[in-house]
Amino acid sequence: MKLTTSFGDNKEYIRVKALEKSFPVRDNVVKVLKDVNLTLPQNKFIVVFGPSGSGKSTLLNLLLGLEKPDKGELSIGGFRLDREDVETTTNFRKERVGVITQQPNWIKSANVLNNVAFPLLLHGVPSYKAYTRAMELIALMGMKPWVNFYPTELSYGQQQKIAVARALVTDPEVIVADEPTGNLDYESGLNLVNILSELCKNGRTVLMVTHDLNNVELSDIVVRVFDGRVVEVINTKDNSMRELKKYLIDYSKFVESGTRAVSKLDITPIDPEAVKADTLNIFQRIKGLLINTVDAFSTTLFVLMSLIVKTLYLLLSFKFLPTPLKNSRFILEASYDRLISFTKLTKPNSIKPTQLLDIAIRSLFFRKTRAIITIGGISIGIAFTVFLLSIGFGIERLVISRVASLAVLNQLDIYPSNARQLVINNESIEEFKKFDNVTDALPILNMAGRIEYQESNLDAVVFSVQSKYLNYSDFSLIEGQYFNSDSLPEYIVDVEESEESLTTTDENEDLVTVDIGSNYIKDAVVNLALLRNIGLSSSEAIGREIDLSFVLTNDSNKNEVEVETTFQKYKIVGVIANQDTPVIYIPIKTIEMFGNIDYTQARIVTSDQSMVQSVRDSFEIQGYKTTSVLDTITQIEQLFNTARTVFLAVGIVALSVASLGMFNTLTVSLLERTKEVGIMKVIGLSSRETKQLFLSESILISLFGTIVGIIGGLLGGFIFSLLISVISLSRANLFVNISYLPLETALLILVVALLIGLVTGYYPAYRATRISPLEALRYE
């Protein structure tokens, strides 16, 4: 950007040759400019003077490159406006032209300072430099006290001064103003024209359209336009002002009284042949779509990165930080800018992503209620989804943790098969231990038992196991300990004696009652269900003795005999957590006196969880039946997967409704901002930057909405857990968190929501690129 003014003295600075321009009106074509020819020098205050409707604005719009001529040539300072495309002319205006419109036009969400600095930002000037320069010009216009006001809070006269500051901030070589005094009172108008005439003293060219005679006085050249033609170019200094004014007044009078011949309107019907819409072919469309998609994604990336950089920048400017650390934020910003320019995704001479983000954020904040409602809509949709999903995941996690701790996931149980005549006995247990990846095999004998304690007696499931089994399992030991020996003290192992006392007491041949001696006490571990049934609490249970008899089906010699033992004393050494049915675990040695018996099952411990399946297969090939907690977990997971799919569907519906709301907001807000978009384009916002600006807004909305939604959903889950815990406090006594969201799911939701933001934001963003800059100049 040029900050010093030194323009040449080009005699043919503005050149217009055989220029024609028509507009379609209904079915006709109205010729507005008819063969305009004009050559104007640089460094002059040029006033285009003519009655209303004579085509002055049309001529000016063509000179700004906002419209294309039908025929003829026109150029400013060598730039061929009739030849160059939209992007190039936009850039031409950005680099070389300052524009002042009749109706002041502003970025409504930006204050005076930001509005004046805006053209500089489009040049890629760092914010602090842009603000310094903007301040200079605002001060020059005597508007310093108003920098923090919104322009629309000021009077028209004040607004036009700000508009001059904005037009001058990039130090353009030509200032173009269409009826800039149109909305001003006499004095303010005169003041403004004075300022404009001053500008030419520094080598600038000023081109002003007016139909007000008072504005002619300070001009160097008057271009008289009448009925779509330049009828005269008058050098003001060659004439006495009085004569010139009189001449022009007479001329105006003629026009008003109609005494001078007003040529008929040049109207011809539209030639249908000429209106062939220039349709794009399929390849151009696909190419456009691809470019747009890449653009949309790169914009998302920019917005996210810029947000991060911006947040870091703000954190680093925290006033209590040490100065070197605080200063590092400038390095951060500079490095980020360098990174961005390195990617070549933004042109070097264009607005920085962080600045674009600033504008988008300001625009969101400016329309607070609307932003809150839109972001709120997205948040509720996301929160709802997150809540349902987190409860789903949470309950699943809870159930699985109740089913099995991680420790038992490497284990499986195997059962003999009657059909294949496979048994599990001490020999087979030794065989199992030799299997690949099997680290241990533990015999289990599951029996029915009877328990007597004081007055009460009840049926219980008896597991005769090794103490290792208890350690491997994930029972939660509430009280005491496990029996830690699998061998009984020697004095009590007196099998001979026991076998001698084996007596049949029943007429039923199959049932044999065995007295296994009552002079010794064995250890046992019981569960809470059993204690409840005999009326003991877990704390008083340890050390108590209960009587147990169990029924053993010994079919090792293939003559199914049920053996019922006499009641024996067992000492409770440990209590494990509640289960539904009363269970008692007794040492496996207790039943060893019955010889080589067949076990009801075996617990197989594998080297690793991943080995369970292969080990399982090798047992199943032999004919054993197997079970594993993994089965249950798989079932639970399947159940919850179904539930989650339903939750997700509900969430997607909620989100779709929310994104429709967002779409609506963006579209409506765009309609409101056509003039704002128009003026930004007049100043030099490229169509790509326009798209980026609007996409930034929609990405911001969905990003904020998603983050608030995820937090809200998790909070909802937490509160829900709290409520459930309070309700069930009498039983569980502790807080159970039943809401949980895996990080990858949270990230997935974030990505999906951003995509939704992108898709919903895309159409309004695309529409924004279609807005004509003329919207800003149109006078209402």
Instruction: List residues binding ligand ADP (CB under 6 A).
Output: 23, 25, 30, 32, 50, 52-58
CA dist 707 and 749 (Å) reads 10
- Residue 53: contacted member of ligand ADP, Mg ion, none (CB under 5 to 8 Å, by partner type): ligand ADP
CA angle 572, 410, 484 (to 5 degrees): 25
3-state secondary structure of 682: helix
Least CB distance to ligand ADP at residue 244 (A): 20
Q: Which stretch binds Mg ion (CB under 5 A): 57-65, 412-420, 436-444, 552-560?
A: 57-65
- Give the sign of the dihedral formed by CA 368, CA 374, CA 375, CA 376: positive
Pick from 519, 580, 569, 516: nearest CA to 544: 569
Pick from 520, 521, 541: nearest CA to 531: 541
- Residue 643: contacted member of ligand ADP, Mg ion, none (CB under 5 to 8 Å, by partner type): none
> Cβ closer to ligand ADP: 27 or 187?
27
Pick from 482, 472, 485: nearest CA to 412: 472
Q: Are 172 and 125 in contact (CB under 8 A)?
A: no
Could you count the other beta carbons within 10 Å of the beta carbon of residue 647? 21
Least CB distance to Mg ion at residue 177 (A): 11
Could you count the other beta carbons within 10 Å of the beta carbon of residue 731? 6
Pick from 624, 597, 637, 634: nearest CA to 438: 624
For Mg ion (CB under 5 A), the number of binding residues is 1
- Residue 480: contacted member of Mg ion, ligand ADP, none (CB under 5 to 8 Å, by partner type): none
- Residue 89: contacted member of Mg ion, ligand ADP, none (CB under 5 to 8 Å, by partner type): none
Q: Are 182 and 110 in contact (CB under 8 A)?
A: no
3-state secondary structure of 30: strand
Closest residue to Mg ion in the complex (CB): 57
Least CB distance to ligand ADP at residue 180 (A): 13
Q: Are 228 and 72 in contact (CB under 8 A)?
A: no
Least CB distance to ligand ADP at residue 113 (A): 32
Least CB distance to ligand ADP at residue 26 (A): 10
Least CB distance to Mg ion at residue 56 (A): 5
- Residue 62: contacted member of Mg ion, ligand ADP, none (CB under 5 to 8 Å, by partner type): none
The reply on whether position 210 binds Mg ion by CB under 5 A is no
HSE (CB half, 13 Å, CA atoms) of 141? Answer: 32
CA dist 684 and 687 (Å) reads 9
Could you count the other beta carbons within 10 Å of the beta carbon of residue 618? 17
Name the DSSP letter for residue 581. Answer: S
| DSSP secondary structure of 346-383 | S-TTS--HHHHHHHHHHHHHHTHHHHHHHHHHHHHHHH
Q: Which contiguous run of DSSP H or E holds residue 445?
A: strand 438-453
CA dist 355 and 139 (Å) reads 23
- Residue 502: contacted member of ligand ADP, Mg ion, none (CB under 5 to 8 Å, by partner type): none
Least CB distance to Mg ion at residue 178 (A): 6
> Cβ closer to Mg ion: 178 or 564?
178
Least CB distance to ligand ADP at residue 24 (A): 7
CA dist 454 and 547 (Å) reads 9
Out of 42, 57, 411, 698, point to the residue binding Mg ion (CB under 5 A).
57
Encoding tokens for residue 571?
Answer: 């000492």
- Residue 186: contacted member of Mg ion, ligand ADP, none (CB under 5 to 8 Å, by partner type): none
Encoding tokens for residue 554?
Answer: 């010994």
CA dist 700 and 361 (Å) reads 8
> Cβ closer to ligand ADP: 25 or 331?
25
Least CB distance to ligand ADP at residue 707 (A): 45
Q: Are 425 and 596 in contact (CB under 8 A)?
A: yes
Least CB distance to Mg ion at residue 102 (A): 8
CA dist 664 and 703 (Å) reads 17
Least CB distance to ligand ADP at residue 177 (A): 12
- Give the sign of the dihedral formed by CA 684, CA 689, CA 694, CA 697: negative
Least CB distance to Mg ion at residue 286 (A): 42
- Residue 23: contacted member of ligand ADP, Mg ion, none (CB under 5 to 8 Å, by partner type): ligand ADP
Name the residues that contact Mg ion, by CB under 5 A: 57
